[in-house]
Structure 1
């Protein structure tokens, strides 16, 4: 199985960048809200946003009163990073945007306190490699806050088939909460908290707060 994200994914999000925030506003609000209890008013230290997209999490961190120093967003798409740039310092902290892949982060080992990953897991060709790479850049005791699609509900399994066969949406696969728990455990994380939620009628989501051990 390949360990790199396809270049077609970068091109897709470069094309989508201009309309992304408007088109996906409802989904973004609902999905990121699952992380809020683990972020609001917290001291997060050095924050790495893996697959930061247009920087919506950076904006949310400021809105929720998180303490961040600094924030670094990594994304495969230059177009998305350009849209993210104005949001990076939303809370008055230093912010930077870096082009790179979640499977080969251009980040030094053990250099961050908190890693955020919102709606990226389903794109990774090798989920274990992605989690291992995040674990590499986190300090011992650092936290990973993750939200993604939840394959367990029947409607999501049906949605999965429809997106693949009818819409031909390009992504690797959905994971159930149990599968994510195993992946976290096998790559050096301890799942501390879980949450479930929805975004609209179809999307069912799972969120995790996990500690690097």
Structure 2
């Protein structure tokens, strides 16, 4: 990400870190639940959590009985990573965290079997570059599990305008489910499954299970 945007997002989440899990508990549970059918009881191998925040995915992986060889979380915010640290090995697997951007992941090429991107696609400038970077770090045939806002419903388009104009929330773009599907296709992923869901009254979400095509 450009330095100014990265710094702004990092500062926002550093400041919100101590209240994040309490404030966003309902949203986090509902958004991750959309990925559960592709996680529960599945063999995930080495897992990369892109934009891991406070590490809630690690707890979900353990709760849902996923078979994980190792877990690595990457996030821009050091304060969020500090809170994530005790959760990373929730299922008894090796866990680690690294500060970094989705556009320049600090991990080796073809080193993960599964990548998860939960509610941070909308922050990325050059979304195609971020998805291509995830594809780089996945092994051939590796899977990306992605969930993000769905711009298509009217209430989400209204929310988008309100956050942009009234609240001045800094994010790049809110995508529709169709747009996310096209982005995945254009960056070398085959979409195998899709799901839609909600988090509370307002938030409408889209989720994807996609395979990396090499």
The match for 2:106 is: 106
- Say whether residues 1:204 and 2:204 are aligned partners: yes
- Mapped to 2, the partners of 1:3 and 1:22 lie a distance apart of 29
Q: What's the TM-score, normalizing by structure 2?
A: 0.97
Distance 1:4 1:142, change over 3 A: farther
Instruction: Work out whether residues 47 and 68 of structure 1, in 8 Å CA contact, stay in contact via their aligned partners in 2.
Output: yes
Q: Which runs of 5+ in 2 are unaligned?
A: none
The match for 2:117 is: 117
- Say whether residues 1:55 and 2:55 are aligned partners: yes
Tell me the number of residue pairs that the alignment of Structure 1 and Structure 2 aligns.
213
- Mapped to 2, the partners of 1:24 and 1:115 lie a distance apart of 22
The match for 1:81 is: 81
TM-superposed CA distance for 1:5, in Å, is: 4.7
Instruction: Work out whether residues 150 and 176 of structure 1, in 8 Å CA contact, stay in contact via their aligned partners in 2.
Output: yes
Runs of 4+ in structure 1 displaced over 6 angstroms? none
TM-superposed CA distance for 1:168, in Å, is: 1.1
**CA RMSD, Structure 1 to Structure 2 (Å):** 1.2
- Say whether residues 1:37 and 2:49 are aligned partners: no
Query: Match of 1:6, SS?
Result: helix
- Mapped to 1, the partners of 2:66 and 2:77 lie a distance apart of 26
Q: Which runs of 5+ in 1 are unaligned?
A: none
The match for 2:135 is: 135
TM-superposed CA distance for 1:4, in Å, is: 8.3
Question: Aligned runs of 1:120-199 on 2, under 5 Å?
Answer: 120-199=120-199
Query: Match of 2:141, SS?
Result: strand
Instruction: Work out whether residues 143 and 212 of structure 1, in 8 Å CA contact, stay in contact via their aligned partners in 2.
Output: yes
TM-superposed CA distance for 1:119, in Å, is: 0.2
